[in-house]
Amino acid sequence: MKWQSKGSVLGAAALTLSLWSVAAAQTGADKTLMVEDVFKNVQVLKGISVVEFMDTMGFFSASLGYNCTNCHTMESLGDWAKYADDIPAKRTARRMVQMVNAINQENFGGRHVVTCFTCHRGDGLPKGTPSLLAQYSAPPPEDPNEIAISPQTLKGPSAEEVLDKYLQAAGGEGKLAALKSLRAKGMYGGFDTDFSKVPVEVYAKAPGQRTVVAHTPLGDNTTTFDGRAGWYASPDRPAPLLAVPAGPDLDGLRLDAELMFPAGIKQALANWRAGFSSTSINGREVVTLQGSTPTGMRVKLFFDKQNGLLARSVRFANSVVGVNPTQVDYADYREVAGVKIPFKWTVTWTDGQSSIELTDVEPNAAIDAARFARPAPAKKI
């Protein structure tokens, strides 16, 4: 992906206000905004939520190595309405979506076997000529996220054994059960801050409630999950408040909240599988497990083979154009009330990357229930 400049990111975010007069009027308490409610001139991606639509734009970006202006125009950074202009790149994109859909329907029963990434591989032009350099060079490093169940029978630990080792490494059953809430402060950096560090607050309560508030230059960026429903309130989204629809995105919020407390990891996912081939992350061997969320979304968890702690989670969300990965890396484990928790999280997805580094963590803090309620629509500073 070609990262956007600060002017691109913050400029486009500021211009979301031009949409808010439309979107905010249609945003009910928990209404799922559909793409037709917000955007003009959408033709082949109708019938999906705004949240999934933005994920789809990220999928295109990752597949072609593009940012927003490659498919739209530079003028769109100064006028949000310009994103609706029917330029040749958008017309080509529509034809490609229809072509890929037809290939999958006619040959693979509608499954997303062929996607934009199949041919483009991160480049604006699809590759049709074999690369001799790639053929005769050393193979590139293996992507641990793509590791698969070995075709051979492996003599390795079961999912139960891996999870038990993690629970013991994180503090043991008694201390884990005693940790009921966390209130933390730290620093956040991401696309919405041009990777400058800004203050962040994190509130979490077991089982499965979490709110993260990043104080960005444009205004507060809030993500909330109350145990059943989730919301995004942010000045850099297409509406000041978005209810997260049931499905992969909501499952992702649920998983992030549940993984805040190691004690509930076995219940966080179902259909656990072990037996993956050996792989490593940042030079350290990891043991891989796979499970599924309530809606069937596939999730991989990677545990450090030596110390047993969770090193990474990757969830694979189905979308209208293919499978979209979201990766969370956990680092800098420290002991809080006898429980080891990561003080650094790095989230990488097809729309961007962000990181949170905690500085102060208060265990078993009293947290007002309002912290997990539907947030107010974001206000631009």
DSSP at 152: S
User: Looking at residue 223, what is its pLDDT?
Assistant: 97
- Please give the Cα distance from 252 to 315 (Å, whole number): 7
Instruction: Show me where the domains of the chain are located.
Output: 6-120, 147-372
> What is the residue-level pLDDT of the chain in tens, covering all 381 positions?
444 433 344 344 334 433 444 444 444 457 889 998 888 888 999 999 999 998 998 999 889 888 887 888 887 776 767 888 888 888 898 999 999 999 999 999 999 999 999 999 888 888 888 888 888 988 888 899 998 877 665 678 999 999 999 999 999 999 999 999 999 999 999 988 988 999 999 999 999 999 999 999 999 999 999 999 999 999 888 889 999 999 999 999 999 999 999 999 999 999 999 999 889 999 999 999 999 999 999 999 999 999 999 999 999 999 999 999 999 999 999 999 999 999 999 999 998 899 999 999 999 999 999 999 999 999 877
Which residues are bridge partners to 188 per DSSP? Answer: 198, 356
Structurally, at CATH architecture level, domain 147-372 sits in Clam (2.50)
User: Looking at residue 28, what is its pLDDT?
Assistant: 46
Dihedral Cα 154, 255, 144, 5, nearest 10 deg: 180
- Please give the Cα distance from 69 to 87 (Å, whole number): 11
User: Looking at residue 178, what is its pLDDT?
Assistant: 97
The dihedral sign for the CA sequence 15, 8, 89, 94: negative
- Please give the Cα distance from 228 to 50 (Å, whole number): 19
* Inter-helix orientation angle 50-64/248-258, to 10°: 90
Contact 289, 272 (CB under 8 A): yes
H/E stretch holding 99 reads helix 88-107
| Residue 112: closest CA among 288, 285, 316, 332 | 316
Which pair of structure tokens corresponds to residue 48?
């999906």
Amino acid at 263: A
Between the alpha carbon of residue 54 and those of residues 13, 34, 87, 184, 267, the distances in Å are 13, 11, 19, 29, 30
User: Looking at residue 10, what is its pLDDT?
Assistant: 38
Q: What angle do CA 192, 28, 43 make, to 5 degrees?
A: 70
Which pair of structure tokens corresponds to residue 355?
């990181």
| Confidence (pTM) | 0.88
